[in-house]
């Protein structure tokens, strides 16, 4: 992708997702994810109805009339986007790949953080950490995140969610808002998600295509595993073959939902042909 085409794509994503975050998600994001606590702001004269427990007795004695302490929410938060860039994200049977939807959701969340003056960071992972952008504020930083989501070419096609979560724990010492975006065709991450869920506010966003749920009856079909590159001839006419695949797929989905939920983490399911706007808004409102 040349520079001109990349900038054009970045601008297109920015216009679409910035509008969503400004008009829809900004307020929902703010009300859903709270600050770390209350911090002192100022002292003002007591007014009828104020909580007497907030009276500042030192200032009151000095001026011989009641004054209260005013506190405000300590708002600054850090959001980390953990994005699966393995080979299976380049799958799609409708008008876009899973990767395209992941990019739009990530950009929308990043702009929501920007609007609330929060930091945003990015971890791109396969079965290794492909890229880490430390959390930072500012529009230019968010645009860099979008550029990487659009342009980055991973070294590996495989997936290891557990390794990505271990890396998160090693680099994020303070509590963060974490969104993990993947199709979650993986397992063996129950221990690491439990650790992450205890420390951070974690939400798993599963992006999938309807064609992944079941194999249609198409006769003998040559199929390639997007992550291993292995090519196989599959008899899709066989009911047992279709049944086995369906069982395996549902097992991975159930594992994701159960593991995240039991660890106190949020879960969002989003099919590529569905509105991710409705999915995110519904999730924010349920949590707000």
- CA atoms of 264 and 266, how far apart (whole Å): 7
**Minimal CA–CA distance to 17: which of 83, 89, 85, 100?**
100
Lowest average pLDDT, out of 15-19, 20-24, 61-65, 206-210, goes to 20-24
Average pLDDT taken over every residue of the chain: 83
Domain boundary among 49, 74, 99: 74
Of residues 210 and 9, the one with the higher pLDDT is 210
Q: Phi first, then psi: what are they for 214, rounded to 5°?
A: -145, 145
How big is the chain, counted in residues? 288
Instruction: Name the band, by pLDDT with cuts 50, 70 and 90, for residue 266.
Output: very high
The pLDDT score that the predictor gives to residue 9 is: 73
Q: What is the DSSP string of 231-266?
A: EEEEETT-HHHHHHHHHHHHHHHHHHHHHHHHTT-E
Q: Is the Cβ–Cβ distance between 80 and 58 less than 8 Å?
A: no
**Does residue 200 share a domain with residue 69?**
no
- CA atoms of 141 and 144, how far apart (whole Å): 5
The pLDDT score that the predictor gives to residue 239 is: 76
Cα first-last separation, the chain: 40
Q: How far is CA 231 from CA 87, 90, 227, 252, in A?
A: 14, 16, 11, 22
**Does residue 142 share a domain with residue 56?**
no
Q: Is the Cβ–Cβ distance between 97 and 91 less than 8 Å?
A: yes
**Does residue 265 share a domain with residue 240?**
yes
Q: Is the Cβ–Cβ distance between 193 and 49 less than 8 Å?
A: no
CATH number for 277: 3.40.50.410
**Does residue 192 share a domain with residue 85?**
yes
Burial class (CB in 10 A: 0-12, 13-18, 19+), 205: buried
Tell me which H or E stretch contains 31: helix 26-32
**Does residue 68 share a domain with residue 122?**
no
Q: Does pLDDT of 26 surpass 70? A: no
DSSP 89: G
- CA atoms of 186 and 259, how far apart (whole Å): 12
152 SS3 class: coil
**Does residue 274 share a domain with residue 140?**
yes
**Does residue 149 share a domain with residue 59?**
no
Q: Phi first, then psi: what are they for 271, rounded to 5°?
A: -80, 145
Lowest average pLDDT, out of 11-20, 163-172, 222-231, 276-285, goes to 222-231
Number of structural domains in the chain: 2
Domain boundary among 48, 74, 100: 74
**Does residue 245 share a domain with residue 140?**
yes
Instruction: Name the band, by pLDDT with cuts 50, 70 and 90, for residue 1.
Output: low
- Give Rg (Cα) of the chain: 23
pLDDT more than 90, % of the chain: 43
Pairing of strands 119-125, 78-84: parallel
**Does residue 221 share a domain with residue 79?**
yes
The residue range of the domain holding 41 is 37-74
* 186-213 per-position pLDDT tens digit: 999 999 999 999 999 999 999 998 877 7
Q: Does pLDDT of 139 surpass 60? A: yes
**Does residue 80 share a domain with residue 63?**
no
Domain boundary among 74, 103, 131: 74
* 29-82 per-position pLDDT tens digit: 666 676 555 556 678 888 888 888 889 999 899 889 998 887 655 557 899 999
**Does residue 104 share a domain with residue 148?**
yes
* 234-243 per-position pLDDT tens digit: 666 777 777 8
The pLDDT score that the predictor gives to residue 200 is: 95
**Does residue 20 share a domain with residue 125?**
yes
Tell me which H or E stretch contains 108: helix 98-115
Instruction: Name the band, by pLDDT with cuts 50, 70 and 90, for residue 286.
Output: confident
203 SS3 class: strand
């Amino acid at each position: 992708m040349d520079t001109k085409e990349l900038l054009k794509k970045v601008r297109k994503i920015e216009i679409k997702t910035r509008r969503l975050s400004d008009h829809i998600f900004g307020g929902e994001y703010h009300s859903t994810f709270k600050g770390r606590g209350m911090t002192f702001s100022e002292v003002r004269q007591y007014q009828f109805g104020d909580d007497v427990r907030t009276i500042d007795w030192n200032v009151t004695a000095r001026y011989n009339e009641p004054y209260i302490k005013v506190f405000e929410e300590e708002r600054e938060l850090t959001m980390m986007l953990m994005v699966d860039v393995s080979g299976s994200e380049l799958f799609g049977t409708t008008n876009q790949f899973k990767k395209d939807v992941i990019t739009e959701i990530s950009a929308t969340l990043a702009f929501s953080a920007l609007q609330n003056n929060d930091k945003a960071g990015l971890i791109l992972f396969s079965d290794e950490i492909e890229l880490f952008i430390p959390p930072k504020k500012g529009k230019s930083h968010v645009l860099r995140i979008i550029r990487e989501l659009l342009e980055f070419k991973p070294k590996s096609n495989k997936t290891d969610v557990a390794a990505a979560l271990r890396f998160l724990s090693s680099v994020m010492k303070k509590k963060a808002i974490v969104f993990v975006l993947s199709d979650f065709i993986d397992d063996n991450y129950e221990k690491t998600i439990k650790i992450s869920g205890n420390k951070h506010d974690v939400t798993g966003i599963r992006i999938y295509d309807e064609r992944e749920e079941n194999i249609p009856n198409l006769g003998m079909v040559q199929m390639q595993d997007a992550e291993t590159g292995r090519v196989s001839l599959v008899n899709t006419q066989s009911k047992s073959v279709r049944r086995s695949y369906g069982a395996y797929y549902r097992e991975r989905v159930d594992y994701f939902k159960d593991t995240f939920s039991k660890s106190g983490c949020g879960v969002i399911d989003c099919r590529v042909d569905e509105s991710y706007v409705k999915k995110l808004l519904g999730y924010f409102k349920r949590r707000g």
